[in-house]
Structure 1
């Protein structure tokens, strides 16, 4: 797997491009929140072909960028500053930031206390992620327990549950290895949204792709999964 950096210009705007070449059959595009175009493509596909692919996707790219810009105006990006509002499991908390002798973070009531001996943006983010990871260790197994009964009688494997901070997906499933990985940022969101992602990943044990049969399997078990997915937009500014 190799990574390349390029630029793509469309409608008077220039976007940074990260191109990852790996063992995939098709070109895959993801527009990141910072405006970067992240692509995966087969190793032998020339850049000129990929650039032509991007030109055909121009309307989609511009629309995605505008939607994210509008969302940022409506929901300002979290800066992890004193007095900020955080969300944990869908509930609001006030962030209290203080200088101290240690780098630590804890919850008490509806307040999150962050003590900083090393007051840098990197340390603030590290502590924030630590808090989310600790919460995820409780939320994700609980979600798995709620979703597994929906597959009763199908001999679904009991998956190994992992988590990590991810920028381009909410979860992943490796059916052959029996591993489900949840995005740590999901700890920000309510149980209903976490359950939607957990169900999505478990359905991959039935259908490894995103075919009509896959979405049918989801709809049968969670008829409102589309509404739950749309509800995630509120929490995107807190995924920092």
Structure 2
């Protein structure tokens, strides 16, 4: 992928069939990416970045200040989150397919799977459980927020993403949600759902987009701020 070096900033440049320049700074490492129309001169991209250096460095500093993400080993006693609440992992030897049981009142996540299991097997079992829980919630989320936003997605899907909480294919009207959202408080999931639905009205993060967010979900800023403090799980 082509790169530009502007002062000490390394810029990834992606040329696409778009009409305007787009700048993104990615968590957790502050990687910088510019999407540019196909025939945009390098000098134009250089000027575009130079005028936005303060904005870029502010976001890189915010990402650098985040606490390091906990390294999970999927051992008994470890803390795992579900819908923003911490649960202690308990592991039980049991025949048959792996299964997870949430003991909400007691504060435990009980993982049942055959003896002599590996960390990878325990991780996969929990990931499958998280995915199933988020998938169960999708119909109710769509039913709640699509009428509010006045936009309907043709399809909803879930995947692990390294840099985004959600994404919207506007042409196909397909919305993807990051699996990690099931670990966050419900209002964060609501925020991402509304955010992606609003993209069906407005593709860009411009004044109109944020005005629509204010209209449909006035308290969206609190959820956005909460998600900024979270290190996304790297994709394997």
* TM bracket, shorter-chain basis: 0.7 to 0.9
Question: Which residue is 1:69 aligned to?
Answer: 64
Is 1:80–2:59 an aligned residue pair?
Answer: no
Structure 1, residues 175-221: CA drift from partner, whole Å, max 9, x if none? Answer: 44332222222222122111112122223333444444433333222
Q: Kindly tell me: are residues 98 and 61 of structure 1, through their superposed partners in 2, closer, same or farther at Cα, counting changes over 3 Å? A: farther
The answer (yes or no) to whether the contact 1:93–1:112 under 8 Å persists in 2 is no
What TM-score results when the alignment is normalised by the length of structure 1? 0.73
Question: Which residue is 2:142 aligned to?
Answer: 144
State the 1:137 CA deviation. Answer: 0.6
Q: 2:181 aligns with which of 169, 179, 186?
A: 186
The answer (yes or no) to whether the contact 1:192–1:228 under 8 Å persists in 2 is yes
State the 1:54 CA deviation. Answer: 2.9
Q: SS of 2:29's equivalent? A: coil
Q: SS of 1:94's equivalent? A: strand
CA RMSD for the aligned pairs? 3.6
Unaligned runs of 5+ in 2: none
Structure 1, residues 127-166: CA drift from partner, whole Å, max 9, x if none? Answer: 6644432232123332222213425xx5x44632122222
The answer (yes or no) to whether the contact 1:104–1:114 under 8 Å persists in 2 is yes
> Partners of 1:101 and 1:21 in 2: how far apart?
53
The answer (yes or no) to whether the contact 1:165–1:185 under 8 Å persists in 2 is yes
Unaligned runs of 5+ in 1: none
The answer (yes or no) to whether the contact 1:162–1:181 under 8 Å persists in 2 is yes
State the 1:77 CA deviation. Answer: 0.7
Question: Which residue is 1:6 aligned to?
Answer: 3
Q: 1:93 aligns with which of 82, 87, 90?
A: 87
Q: 1:237 aligns with which of 214, 231, 234?
A: 231
Q: Kindly tell me: are residues 16 and 182 of structure 1, through their superposed partners in 2, closer, same or farther at Cα, counting changes over 3 Å? A: same
Question: Which residue is 1:164 aligned to?
Answer: 159
Q: SS of 1:71's equivalent? A: coil
The answer (yes or no) to whether the contact 2:30–2:59 under 8 Å persists in 1 is no
Q: Kindly tell me: are residues 223 and 119 of structure 1, through their superposed partners in 2, closer, same or farther at Cα, counting changes over 3 Å? A: closer
What TM-score results when the alignment is normalised by the length of structure 2? 0.74
Question: Which residue is 1:25 aligned to?
Answer: 19
